[in-house]
Amino acid sequence: MEWIRVLVAGAAGRMGREVVRAVCGQEDMELVGAVDRARVGEDAARVAGMEVTSVPIAASLSDTIAQTSPDVAVDFTLPDSVMGNVETALRAKVACVVGATGLTPADLEDLGALCQEMKTPCLVAPNFAIGAVLMMRFAVEAARHFDAAEIIELHHAGKVDAPSGTALRTARMIAEASCGAGVPTPAEPPARGQREAGIPIHSVRLPGLVAHQEVIFGAVGQTLTIRHDSISRESFMPGVLLAIRKVRGLKGLVVGLEGVM
């Protein structure tokens, strides 16, 4: 059995701790490195609520890569650090799985070019829940048959970006499927939501939520609602583990978990 050596960036965060737990529970994976701005020097597994693994959280990604030689780097950091982290890993020829938000279309273009230059793959996914990927796929199918659509996305109060990456990607996919909602009307009030590719997106941030999204389609005399709910962060782990196992077989930059499903 081939072991996959995994480094987790953002290891002290909510998602990072979940990834550490998931990786440590796999027979074909080994946690070799953990990086975060917080809790430096503490054992990554203990921070994640597990028994000690002797993998301390470090402050420097480049140093940790040099010391641990990971096969895959998983990044669930903040928007202000994700690009630098992924560039560092790719230049070290470490395949990347990225769940951090905040990457712009221009950022993705830059990462795609860097993947080609370094001949190292990277998978960027706005959502690692299998159900969320299916929700987006079903929304594309519905967009071909309905006149208009709007997106409501709901997340925990600590989420730093709005709209969410999942909502933005869903809107772009719907617009590409030629839904009539892509035609904006002039002088719409702000309450009508922020538009992406012509699709209104409404963001909700409240305590008690994790990650939820519904896409509401409308046509004459009918509506259709497609909704996905992540009620715990464990829902993202099957997708993250799938990405870790598949990313090294990819070429270049792949956006969306559907690229390995």
Instruction: Please give the angle made by the CA atoms of 253, 227 and 235, to the nearest 5 degrees.
Output: 60
145 is catalytic: no
- Residue 235 DSSP SS3: helix
202 is catalytic: no
- Residue 27 DSSP SS3: coil
> Could you identify the residue written with the tokens 């987006």?
136
Q: Is the dihedral of CA 63, 65, 66, 68 positive or negative?
A: positive
Both structure tokens of 75: 């990044």
Contacts of 145 (CB under 8 A, 6+ apart): 219
Catalytic residue among 145, 156, 159, 228: 159
Catalytic residue among 155, 202, 212, 228: 155
Both structure tokens of 141: 């199918």
Integer-rounded Cα radius of gyration of the chain: 19
In one-letter notation, the amino acid at residue 106 is A
Both structure tokens of 171: 């809107």
Longest dimension (CA), the chain: 62
Based on DSSP, count helices (H) and strands (E) in the chain, helices before strands: 8, 12
Q: What share of the chain is helix, strand, coil (3-state, %, to 5)?
A: 40, 25, 35
CB 3 within 8 A of CB 9: no
> Could you identify the residue written with the tokens 């659509």?
149
Catalytic annotation, residues: 155, 159
